Structure 1
Amino acid sequence: MKPFTKHTGTGIPLRRNNIDTDQIIPARYVPYFSWYGHTNALFADWRDDPSFVLNLPQYQGATVLVSGTDFGTGSSRESAVWALQRAGFAAVIAPRFGDIFTGNALMRGVVTTTVPEDVVERLWELIEREPSIPISVDIQCLEVRCADIVQSFYLDPGARQRLLSGQDAVAETLTHTADIETYESLRRPLLPTTRFGRTQ
């Protein structure tokens, strides 16, 4: 995972609420556990509508999705995050997110940015008026910036540190290898241990 400090890109105004993970990527497109092959399935049930916002030419290449409230609720499928990421989205801005989706997104390096509903409404209006307007999501300063909007947001400190350092949970754990080995060396001999390989 690459370090994430600040991302600046154009946005897509997704004026919908209660978008669950089955709407982000329908279950029929998740036959196997793989990061690849999900891009075309993103919002697949809505993409047949030419007027759907992701189909509009003025928003092509956008990397910040600005959604209504309760984005990513429902099932825990990690492929919902993969689909967004493979389509080029680095951040999602919304008033509220599903908890499991948030955990999956932050683990993969997609920043879920929670801001008030009135800020989302202002962002929608700005993007619709000027699709090329830049939006910045800065996790060093914990701010969203766009035109005259400067909005602070909260990010779990542990997730924020992993994003800044470019580490997933496994890589972060391995930075404590010396402490883990010291702890293991002090365990009482009769306690269970984990052995790898076959025993005869």
Structure 2
Amino acid sequence: MTPLTMIEGKAYPFGRKNVDTDVIIPAHWLKTITRAGLGRGAFETVRAEPGNVFDDPDYAGAPILIAGDNFGCGSSREHAAWALKDMGVTAVIAPSFSDIFSGNAFKNGIATVVLPQEAIDRLLEVARTEPVTVDLETQTVTTPFQDRFVFPMDPFRRDCLMKGQDEIGLTMGLGAEIGRYEATMARDRPWL
């Protein structure tokens, strides 16, 4: 994964509540054997609406998505995180997330930032014309208007995102220590 320390730029001012994983990526897109191209199917039903934010050229390639409460609810499809990542989204800001979606996002290098609704409302307003910055190091979301919102984040997830490591990467980084342990076990307990 690519290390995430600071995500800055345009943000999709989406704001809808209870967006489930079927809205993020419809089921008929799940037949693929690759993650590449899933961004084309992201928010397909929303994109069918005239004037939707996802087809607005002003937001094309935005790295941040500002969403409503309970984002990522529904089924546990990891394809939702894959589709967002393929769109270029590396941070989603919302009042709350489905636990499964939040876990899938983390494992795919997407920061899920929880802020109160008042902060979301302000960010939705600002994102229409100005960039937004998510700083994982200081755990803040800021705007050019001196707005500064502090967010909590699980320290383990934050550290992994900042180092660009998932759980597999962390385990692989301990290869030498694991090898020494296994050699010791083989020597001291050969019956195992």
Is the structural similarity TM-score above 0.5? yes
Structure 2 partner of 1:143: 140
The question of 1:55 aligning with 2:55 is answered yes
How many angstroms apart in 2 are the aligned matches of 1:32 and 1:56?
26
Structure 1 outlier segments of 4+, above 6 Å: none
Structure 2 partner of 1:168: 166
Question: How many equivalent pairs are there?
Answer: 188
Contact residue 64 and residue 89 of structure 1 kept, 8 A: yes
How many angstroms apart in 2 are the aligned matches of 1:123 and 1:157?
24
How many angstroms apart in 1 are the aligned matches of 2:57 and 2:181?
57
Residue aligned with 2:44, SS: coil
Structure 1 partner of 2:124: 124
For structure 1, list consecutive stretches of 5 or more residues without a partner in the other structure: 192-200
For structure 2, list consecutive stretches of 5 or more residues without a partner in the other structure: none
Residue aligned with 1:119, SS: helix
- Deviation larger for 2-11 or 173-182: 173-182
* Structure 1 vs Structure 2 CA RMSD: 1.4
Contact residue 93 and residue 120 of structure 1 kept, 8 A: yes
- TM-superposed deviation, 1:32: 3.0
How many angstroms apart in 1 are the aligned matches of 2:79 and 2:62?
20
How many angstroms apart in 1 are the aligned matches of 2:56 and 2:7?
23
Higher helix fraction (1 or 2): 2
How many angstroms apart in 1 are the aligned matches of 2:172 and 2:112?
25
Structure 2 partner of 1:34: 34
> Equivalent residues in 2 for 1:1-200 (5 A)?
1-128=1-128, 130=129, 133-146=130-143, 147-187=145-185, 188-191=189-192
Contact residue 25 and residue 41 of structure 1 kept, 8 A: yes
| Larger-gyration structure (1/2) | 1
- TM-superposed deviation, 1:112: 0.7
**Aligned residue type for 2:138:** C
Identity, in percent, stands at 40
- TM-superposed deviation, 1:3: 1.2
Task: Give the TM-score, by structure 2 length.
Answer: 0.91
Contact residue 9 and residue 134 of structure 1 kept, 8 A: yes
Residue aligned with 1:72, SS: coil
